[in-house]
Amino acid sequence: MKILGYAATNPSAPLAPFSFERREPRADDVVIDILYCGVCHSDLHQARNDWGFSTYPIVPGHEIVGRVRTVGSEVSKFKAGDLAAIGCMVDSCRVCQPCQHGLEQYCEEGNIQTYNGQDRHDRSTTYGGYSQSIVASQDFVLHVPKNLDLQGAAPLLCAGITTWSPLRHWQVDANSKVAVIGLGGLGHMAIKLANALGAEVTLFTRSPGKEADARRLGASHVVVSTDEAQMAQVQNQFDLIIDTVPYVHEINPYLSTLTLDGTLVFVGLVGDAPQFSTVPLLLGRRSIAGSCIGGIAETQEMLDFCGQHGIAADVEVIDIQNINAAFARMLKSDVKYRFVIDMASLVD
């Protein structure tokens, strides 16, 4: 079926209207009319080919919430009219060890990204949520808790799960001290989720103006990372630091703020690691790790947790015609705290 979206056609072109063919639904597929789609910094990275593997035209968008229009003959988990959501992946091999353990994001054959990926069956290019509708296997479609505001729920599909997964993997609970670096889309969800798990939360930020918001979102402490005196006061404290910064940055100043056996986990930076000293690692048996989105079951667990706790993202809703201005503001760390596109603005 022919539909409309917004695409980048090369690394420097602004996003513009783009008409394209969605693949025909198969028996296990759900067809979703998209209501809202969050704007992730990964969308910007991939539109600009920052990671070097973009294929054009690229229709970004992997924080998708919508309503089911139709389902294939083998679909049992959804019916027409249901709310439904799609995150960063739409398929995986389903048989390797990670897939068997609900860790489809770490599929040994590579998960199929919601956009800039290749369908496993017909090798067609996948196109994301900056568009009118999407088709995906029911096994990669999520249920949205009914009590959540749909605009605020969309960013849970990437910003939410990407911060939830490390919080769960490193078993954060009421006895934990967690720090978050960077107050953007991922950072603000990390604060909300860690706080809801009972942890004591600290924000590291370069932006002193974000302090009041950080406290409102659930941080007990805010440390301006460029202020050495403030940094010196938080040594040997954190069990887990979630680093959401999208670009290369120094990490040495953060390592000594970890407690014995503490871990700094990269979720933001995709690329070569910054230089760091092993001394704070050796002297505190500390670790540096990375984490990629989350599995499908874990994503549903996170959505259900958010439903129970009334957690959604703080969003600025935009029309799709304003996406290029939104990208420009995101580059300046000027988003409170996630842009979400109202897809009703996308009309032929």
Judged by the rule CB under 6 A, the positions of this chain that interact with ligand NAP are 40-42, 45, 158-159, 162, 182-187, 205-207, 210, 244-247, 249, 267-268, 270, 291-293, 330, 333, 335
Angle at 94 between CA 88 and CA 98, to 5 degrees: 80
Amino acid at 127: Y
Beta carbon of residue 77, minimum distance to ligand NAP (angstroms, whole number): 24
268 binds, among ligand NAP, Zn ion, none (CB under 5 to 8 A by kind): ligand NAP
Among 3, 15, 31, 40, binds Zn ion (CB under 5 A): 40
Q: Of 142-161, which residues contact Zn ion (CB under 5 A)?
A: 158
Beta carbon of residue 23, minimum distance to ligand NAP (angstroms, whole number): 25
End-to-end CA distance of the chain: 14
Q: Nearest CA to 58 among 154, 3, 155, 125?
A: 125
128 binds, among ligand NAP, Zn ion, none (CB under 5 to 8 A by kind): none
Q: Nearest CA to 56 among 89, 113, 13?
A: 13
Residue 272 buriedness (CB in 10 A; 0-12 / 13-18 / 19+): exposed
Beta carbon of residue 294, minimum distance to Zn ion (angstroms, whole number): 12
Q: Nearest CA to 59 among 122, 2, 8, 10?
A: 8
247 binds, among Zn ion, ligand NAP, none (CB under 5 to 8 A by kind): ligand NAP
Residue 39: how many CB atoms within 10 A of its CB?
29
Q: Measured from the CB atom, is 128 or 218 closer to Zn ion?
A: 128
Q: Measured from the CB atom, is 77 or 329 closer to ligand NAP?
A: 329
C-alpha 307/C-alpha 343 separation (Å) is 23
Question: What's the distance, CA 108 to chain centroid?
Answer: 21
Beta carbon of residue 157, minimum distance to Zn ion (angstroms, whole number): 8
Name the closest residue to ligand NAP (Cβ). Answer: 184
Q: Measured from the CB atom, is 40 or 59 closer to Zn ion?
A: 40
C-alpha 224/C-alpha 231 separation (Å) is 8
Beta carbon of residue 211, minimum distance to ligand NAP (angstroms, whole number): 10
Beta carbon of residue 96, minimum distance to ligand NAP (angstroms, whole number): 19
Beta carbon of residue 339, minimum distance to ligand NAP (angstroms, whole number): 9
25 binds, among ligand NAP, Zn ion, none (CB under 5 to 8 A by kind): none
Residue 42 interacts with Zn ion (CB under 5 A): yes or no: yes
Residue 249 buriedness (CB in 10 A; 0-12 / 13-18 / 19+): middle
Give the bridge partners for 318, in sequence order.
Answer: 341
Copy the structure tokens of residue 239: 């069990």
335 binds, among ligand NAP, Zn ion, none (CB under 5 to 8 A by kind): ligand NAP
What DSSP designation does 81 have?
A: T
Give the bridge partners for 290, in sequence order.
Answer: 266
245 binds, among Zn ion, ligand NAP, none (CB under 5 to 8 A by kind): ligand NAP
> Which residues form the interface with Zn ion (CB under 5 A)?
40, 42, 158
